[in-house]
C-alpha cells in the first residue's frame, strides 16, 4: 500500500484549490473539467502538538516533523470505468495510493459550473462510488474466473488462500454489483489478506471532505448532513472544510497570523490540519520520536511494528544490527519535565526485539553492524 492519500472527486468541486492550500504549492485550478490531468504530488507536515512540547523541554537546534504525501488526482466523471474522460488513467492513479480523500461540493455558487448542472453531494458521491465499484467489479470477476486453477494448485499456500478468497470474492461481487464499496463489508484480517494483491480501490479507507462556504464552517448545512448519513453506510469518516478560507490561511506567513485568523472565525483548528491528521490515521501510521539537543525528529512507522522494524525507518542498518532500544513515552516526559527525572521515576526502559512500539514513544536504538 502506498504511503500517500489520493484526493479524488468530480471536476470543479474544489480539489485543486484544497490541494494548493494543503501544500502551499500552486496546483492548476480552472473553471472547466480536466484542468488537472497528471496528478500533482505534495508532501506536507503532520501537525503534532506533542512534538512542540518535546521541543520546548529539550530545546533542540532543529525540529523535523512527520510527513504524509497527498496526490491531487484529476476529476473523475460518469463512465470513467469504461474509459470516459481519461478514466482509465485516473483510476490507475487511484490504485497507487494508500487511502482516498473524496472532496464533495457542499456549497452553492452560480459562478462555478457543476458538471451535473446542480449541487447534489449524495448524487456526486454515488457517481464516483459506482465508477470505482465497476472498476473493482471487473478485477474481482477476473479473479473468480481464475479461482478453479488456484484451487487445483499443487502449492498448498496458493490453494488455501483461494479457499479463503472464494466466499469473500463472491460477497464482494454482489456488493460491487449494487454500486457499494468493498469497504462496506465487515471482513476479518485473513479475508482481507486473501484479496490484498488485487489492490481494490473500494477497499481503501475513504474520507469524505465536504467543501463548504464560509457560512457553513461552524454549523453543518443540509448538504453536509446528507453526506454524513451516507458515510455511515460504508464505514467512512467525514470532515468539513472551506477551500476558500483555507486558501486565505495558507497565504498568511506566520503561525501567529494563522492562529489569529482562526480565532476570528471561531475555530481552533483548520480544516486542512484535520484532513492531514485524518489521512495519516487512515494509512494506519504511528509516530515515535528521537530527541536530543541537536534534533527532535518524528518518525513514521506502521501500526503494530516491533522495535527492529521501527528502527529500520531511520536506517536499515539499525534493523540488521539491532541490540536494544532505550524507550520512554512522551507523556512521561511531559509529566516529569526531563529525561533524568523520567529515569528517576522508573519510566525509562530497555526493550528488546519483541517490543511493539507505541505511538508517542521516545526512542534511542543500540545497534552493531
Lowest mean pLDDT among 26-30, 35-39, 216-220: 26-30
Q: Range(s) for CATH 3.40.50.300 in the chain?
A: 4-282
Name the residue with higher pLDDT: 10 or 57. Answer: 57
Single out the residue of 208, 246, 213 nearest to residue 228, CA to CA: 208
Name the residue with higher pLDDT: 9 or 110. Answer: 9
Residue 175 has pLDDT above 50, yes or no: yes
Q: How confident is the model at residue 65 (pLDDT cuts 50, 70, 90)?
A: very high
- Residue-wise pLDDT for 148-165, tens only, equals 888 888 888 888 888 888
- Residue-wise pLDDT for 318-334, tens only, equals 999 999 999 999 999 99
Q: What is the mean pLDDT of residues 279-302?
A: 94
Q: What is the mean pLDDT of residues 41-66?
A: 93
CATH of domain 304-367: 3.10.20.30
pLDDT of 35: 39
Contact by Cβ (8 Å): 332, 342: yes
What proportion of the chain, given as a percentage, has pLDDT over 70? 89
**DSSP single-letter state for residue 35:** S
Tell me how far apart the alpha carbons of residues 158 and 174 are, in angstroms, rounded to a whole number. 24
Residue 254 has pLDDT above 90, yes or no: no
Tell me how far apart the alpha carbons of residues 169 and 143 are, in angstroms, rounded to a whole number. 8
- Residue-wise pLDDT for 356-368, tens only, equals 999 999 999 999 8
Single out the residue of 47, 50, 53, 52 nearest to residue 66, CA to CA: 47
Residue 182 φ/ψ, nearest 5 degrees = -60, -30
Contacts of residue 207, defined as CB under 8 A and 6 or more positions apart, other chains included, come to: 5, 99, 100, 101, 102, 236, 237, 238, 239, 275, 278, 279, 282
Fold of 4-282: Rossmann fold (3.40.50)
Contact by Cβ (8 Å): 169, 130: no
Q: What is the mean pLDDT of residues 238-250?
A: 92
Residues in the chain, total: 369
Tell me how far apart the alpha carbons of residues 191 and 64 are, in angstroms, rounded to a whole number. 38
Q: How confident is the model at residue 27 (pLDDT cuts 50, 70, 90)?
A: very low
Residue 115 has pLDDT above 70, yes or no: no
Q: What is the mean pLDDT of residues 182-189?
A: 90
Q: What is the mean pLDDT of residues 118-140?
A: 89
Name the residue with higher pLDDT: 1 or 235. Answer: 235
pLDDT of 76: 61
Q: How confident is the model at residue 131 (pLDDT cuts 50, 70, 90)?
A: confident
Residue 40 has pLDDT above 90, yes or no: no
Distances in Å between the Cα of 245 and the Cα atoms of 260, 290, 307 are 13, 35, 42
pLDDT of 89: 62
Residue 4 has pLDDT above 70, yes or no: yes
Chain mean pLDDT for the chain:
87
Tell me how far apart the alpha carbons of residues 274 and 107 are, in angstroms, rounded to a whole number. 19
Amino acid at each position: 500500500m502506498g504511503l500517500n492519500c489520493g484526493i479524488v472527486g468530480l471536476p470543479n468541486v474544489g480539489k485543486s484549490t484544497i490541494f494548493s492550500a494543503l501544500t502551499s504549492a500552486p496546483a492548476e485550478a480552472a473553471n472547466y473539467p480536466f484542468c488537472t490531468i497528471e496528478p500533482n504530488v505534495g508532501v506536507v507536515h503532520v501537525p503534532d502538538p506533542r512534538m512542540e512540547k518535546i521541543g520546548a523541554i529539550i530545546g533542540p537546534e532543529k525540529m523535523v516533523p512527520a510527513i504524509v504525501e497527498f496526490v491531487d488526482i484529476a476529476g473523475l466523471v460518469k463512465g470513467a470505468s469504461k474509459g470516459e474522460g481519461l478514466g482509465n488513467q485516473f483510476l490507475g492513479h487511484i490504485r497507487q495510493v494508500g487511502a482516498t480523500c473524496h472532496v464533495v461540493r457542499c456549497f452553492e455558487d452560480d459562478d462555478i459550473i457543476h458538471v451535473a448542472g446542480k449541487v447534489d453531494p449524495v448524487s456526486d458521491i454515488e457517481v464516483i462510488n459506482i465508477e470505482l465499484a465497476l472498476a473493482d467489479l471487473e478485477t474481482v470477476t477476473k479473479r473468480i474466473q481464475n479461482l478453479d486453477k488456484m484451487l487445483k494448485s499443487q502449492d498448498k499456500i496458493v490453494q488455501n488462500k483461494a479457499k479463503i478468497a472464494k466466499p469473500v470474492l463472491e460477497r464482494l461481487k454482489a456488493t460491487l454489483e449494487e454500486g457499494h464499496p468493498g469497504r462496506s463489508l465487515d471482513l476479518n484480517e485473513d479475508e482481507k489478506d486473501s484479496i490484498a494483491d488485487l489492490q481494490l480501490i473500494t477497499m481503501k479507507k475513504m474520507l469524505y471532505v465536504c467543501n463548504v462556504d464560509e457560512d457553513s464552517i461552524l454549523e453543518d448545512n443540509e448538504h453536509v448532513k446528507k453526506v454524513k448519513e451516507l458515510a455511515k453506510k460504508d464505514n467512512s469518516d467525514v470532515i468539513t472544510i472551506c477551500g476558500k478560507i483555507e486558501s486565505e490561511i495558507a497565504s498568511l506567513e506566520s503561525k501567529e497570523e494563522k492562529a489569529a485568523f482562526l480565532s476570528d472565525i471561531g475555530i481552533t483548528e483548520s480544516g486542512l490540519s484535520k484532513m492531514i491528521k485524518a489521512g495519516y490515521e487512515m494509512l494506519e501510521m504511528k509516530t515515535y520520536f528521537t530527541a536530543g539537543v541537536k534534533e527532535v525528529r518524528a518518525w513514521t512507522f506502521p501500526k503494530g511494528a516491533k522495535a527492529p522494524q521501527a528502527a529500520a525507518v531511520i536506517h536499515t542498518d539499525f534493523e540488521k544490527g539491532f541490540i536494544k532500544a532505550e524507550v520512554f513515552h512522551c507523556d512521561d516526559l511531559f509529566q516529569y519535565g526531563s529525561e533524568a527525572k523520567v529515569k528517576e521515576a522508573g519510566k525509562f526502559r530497555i526493550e528488546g526485539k519483541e517490543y511493539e512500539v507505541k505511538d508517542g514513544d521516545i526512542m534511542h536504538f543500540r545497534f552493531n553492524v
